[in-house]
């Protein structure tokens, strides 16, 4: 019988610890499948962040380093400079990348570091129990914003894809989501393209993935996807913000 689907070799057999309905798992799968399809798993080094995806080093079936909170782009820089022929990626949450690690991601992008960042934006600090993130929507409740994020007090959400796209070192920046099969297929194409451009040495690549956190949003998995669609996408529009391959006509 012909095999129509099988689990990617890019993931180990470890059971993940993600909550039911969390989309971190889908994003892992897309990254792993892309690496497998490109035939580069054996020369890939991944960097796990601090956040819900901290155990990513047990899930991706390639060499992995666990970085300090927010420092994954600096760790990836160290790896890539030593192993320029390898594929190097970071997998980071929004607290990790857009709060404590802002300097590291901006400067990795500025240098045009030939790495790929998978930026999982769920508008909250998942691992530590639902505290406000820099990406939390105005009015969205969090355990450190019990009445909802107040613009006067805490500002409004930071749009990292747009910010990083302004830097010359960025080769490809796209924001995607994984709330439906068609979105998932688009996200996969984006992730694969980012890895391809990294391998061509084009510069820094980042795919921001809008992701759900049913646990800390206090929603069922399905309602969480609907909430993301209705509330996050208007603030974080999907699309390509930088593509060097389009600039050179």
Indicate which of ligand TPP, other proteins, ligand SF4, none lies near residue 32 (CB less than 5 to 8 Å, by partner kind).
Answer: none
CB of 229 to other proteins, least distance (A): 33
Indicate which of ligand TPP, other proteins, ligand SF4, none lies near residue 203 (CB less than 5 to 8 Å, by partner kind).
Answer: none
Contact (Cβ atoms closer than 8 angstroms) between residue 163 and residue 175: no
Least Cα distance to 190 among 205, 170, 200 occurs for 205
Q: Is 22 in the site for ligand SF4 (CB under 6 A)?
A: yes
Please report which residue ranges of 176-232 form alpha helices under DSSP H: 181-199, 214-217, 221-227
For the chain, how big is the Rg over CA atoms in Å? 17
Residues in region 107-126 near ligand SF4 by CB under 6 A: 122, 126
Q: What is the distance between the alpha carbons of residues 144 and 129, in angstroms, rounded to a whole number?
A: 10
Question: 111 or 186, CB closer to other proteins?
Answer: 111
Question: 62 or 228, CB closer to other proteins?
Answer: 62
CA angle 25, 30, 33 (to 5 degrees): 120
Least Cα distance to 51 among 128, 113, 103, 109 occurs for 128
Least Cα distance to 163 among 246, 93, 105, 94 occurs for 105
Q: Is 208 in the site for ligand TPP (CB under 6 A)?
A: no
The span of 13-21, 27-35, 45-53, 76-84 binding ligand TPP (CB under 6 A) equals 45-53
* Residues making contact with ligand TPP (CB under 6 A): 50-53, 69, 93-96, 120, 122, 124-128, 133
* Residues making contact with ligand SF4 (CB under 6 A): 18-19, 22, 24, 52, 122, 126-127, 213-216
């Amino acid at each position: 019988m012909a095999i129509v689907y099988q689990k990617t070799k890019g993931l180990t057999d470890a059971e993940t610890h993600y909550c039911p309905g969390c989309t971190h798992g889908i994003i892992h799968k897309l990254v792993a499948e892309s690496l497998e399809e490109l035939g580069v798993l054996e020369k890939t080094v991944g960097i796990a962040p601090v956040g819900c995806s901290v155990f990513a080093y047990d899930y991706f079936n390639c060499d992995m380093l666990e970085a300090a909170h927010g420092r994954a782009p600096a760790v990836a820089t160290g790896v890539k400079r030593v192993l320029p022929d390898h594929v190097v990626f970071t997998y980071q949450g929004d607290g990790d990348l857009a709060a404590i690690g802002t300097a590291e991601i901006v400067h990795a992008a500025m240098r045009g570091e030939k790495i790929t960042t998978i930026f999982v934006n769920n508008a909250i600090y998942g691992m530590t129990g639902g505290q406000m993130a820099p990406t939390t929507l105005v009015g969205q409740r969090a355990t450190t914003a019990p009445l909802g994020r107040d613009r006067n007090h805490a500002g409004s959400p930071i749009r990292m894809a747009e910010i990083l796209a302004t830097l010359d070192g960025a080769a490809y920046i796209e924001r995607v989501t994984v709330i439906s099969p068609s979105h998932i297929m688009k996200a996969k194409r984006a992730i694969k393209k980012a890895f391809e451009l990294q391998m061509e040495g084009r510069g820094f690549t980042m795919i921001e993935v809008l992701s759900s956190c049913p646990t800390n949003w206090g929603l069922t998995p399905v309602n969480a996807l609907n909430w993301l669609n209705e509330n996050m996408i208007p603030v974080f529009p999907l699309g390509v913000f930088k593509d060097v391959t389009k600039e050179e006509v």
